[in-house]
Structure 1
Amino acid sequence: MQAELDGEHSCGREHRARPHWKAITVTPHTSPSPGLLPPARPDLEHWFELPSLRVSVRTARDTVRRQLRTWRLPGDVCTDAVLLVSELATNAVIHSGSDRMLCGLSLTSHEQLRIEMHDDGRTSATPAGCRSGTQDESGRGLLIVQQLADSWGTARSGRTGGNVVWAVLRIEF
């Protein structure tokens, strides 16, 4: 935990461990549901799939950090995006009952970064509201998403048949 607080979420940190996942960069997709894509066509997209395990959350953070560094996004956007992915991946692992999760990053010419976390679970697309007590050590993930993201939401996933939770960050260069 201390490593995360000491800058692990920074996009500038190198990680030499070889990840156990596959990642591809793909062309933009079409969808019958406009809520699943940003209003503008993405200029860049990156998708990766991971097993729905707690250890995959760190891999998701590392993958996003590396990709956003490749895209040369500002450090504050990288930090926020890595935290958002961490919270969305954790929720997918804990609450979806999925075997796999699919994460998508979309960068648009309208200076927006869209983060999508898809699961193959059959639970409701609408996350249940949770009120954490002052002594609770968990249960604040979606509150963090709400505070960091410029917009966010949920829908059924056309990619996995499960759910997608998405968040958008505005990028100011």
Structure 2
Amino acid sequence: MATPPTTPRSTALPHDIEWRLPRHPRSVGRARTLLREQARMWKLPDDVTETAVLLLSELMTNAYRHAKVPPGREIRARCVETDGRLRLTVTDASDVLPVVRETGPEDESGRGLPLVAALADDWGAEPRPCGIGKTVWCELRCAPELP
């Protein structure tokens, strides 16, 4: 009796972690620290880690500063590494989607999303399916592209 051919499958599971942090300025630094530690455990390249930490910091800062929601709401930061890509998501309880705006040399803020757009391989924002809040995400390649 012949055995059916098998298709080789990847045995590596995706890396996936989520942190729930209070909507507070200190949560931005905490998220950076947690991501650095996780990236070290996942053995991500240093350059990818540093870019990811910067991008997560920008997304967390936007959620903390601009999500005008009742006290006690959390910000969720999630990192998923699979198939050579690292996806960072930040979810808050505000329904207002972010807008990239042009900044001038005198502006003291407003450069976060342009920085995300410039450094990430892809990014976007969408309302949460449950109808409360939004998720802003970005992706980075963490493995060399194949020719």
- In the other structure, the counterpart of 1:96 is 67
Aligned to 2:79: 105
Distance 2:91 2:108 in 1: 25
Instruction: Confirm whether residue 85 of structure 1 aligns to residue 85 of structure 2.
Output: no
User: What's the offset of the Cα at 1:131?
Assistant: 1.8
Q: Tell me the residue number matched to 1:12.
A: none
State how far apart, in whole Å, the 2-side matches of 1:97 and 1:72 are.
36
Segments of structure 1 that go 5 or more residues without pairing to the other structure are: 1-41
Q: Is the 8 A contact 2:100 2:114 kept in 1?
A: no
Which of 123, 137, 142 aligns to 1:166? It is 137
Residues 72, 102 of structure 1: CA spacing in aligned structure 2 closer, same or farther, 3 A cutoff? same
Aligned-residue CA RMSD in angstroms?
1.6
State how far apart, in whole Å, the 2-side matches of 1:93 and 1:170 are: 26
TM-score by length of 2: 0.82
1:8-45 C-alpha deviation (Å, 9 max, x unpaired)? xxxxxxxxxxxxxxxxxxxxxxxxxxxxxxxxxx7110
Letter in 2 for 1:120: A
Q: What are the ranges of 5 or more consecutive residues in structure 2 without an aligned counterpart?
A: 1-12
Does the 8 Å CA contact 2:78/2:90 hold for their aligned counterparts? Answer: yes
How many residues align structurally? Answer: 129
State the Cα deviation string for residues 56-83 of structure 1 (Å, max 9, x = none): 1000110111111110000000000000
Hey, what does 1:11 align to over in structure 2?
A: none
Residues 159 and 74 of structure 1, relative CA distance in 2, 3 Å threshold: farther
**Bigger Rg over Cα:** 2
1:155 aligns with 2:126: yes
Contact 1:119–1:160 (8 Å) recurs in 2? no
What is the distance in 1 between the residues matched to 2:133 and 2:16? 21
SS at match of 1:60: helix
The one-letter code matched in structure 1 to 2:88 is I
Equivalences for residues 17-32 of structure 1 within 5 A: none
Q: What percent identity do the matched residue pairs reach?
A: 38
Amino acid at match of 1:44: H
Indicate conservation of the 8 Å contact 1:150/1:168, yes or no: yes
Q: Which runs of 4+ in 1 moved over 3 A?
A: none
Please report how far the alpha carbon of residue 166 of structure 1 lies from its aligned counterpart in structure 2 after TM superposition: 0.4
Aligned residue identity for 1:70? M
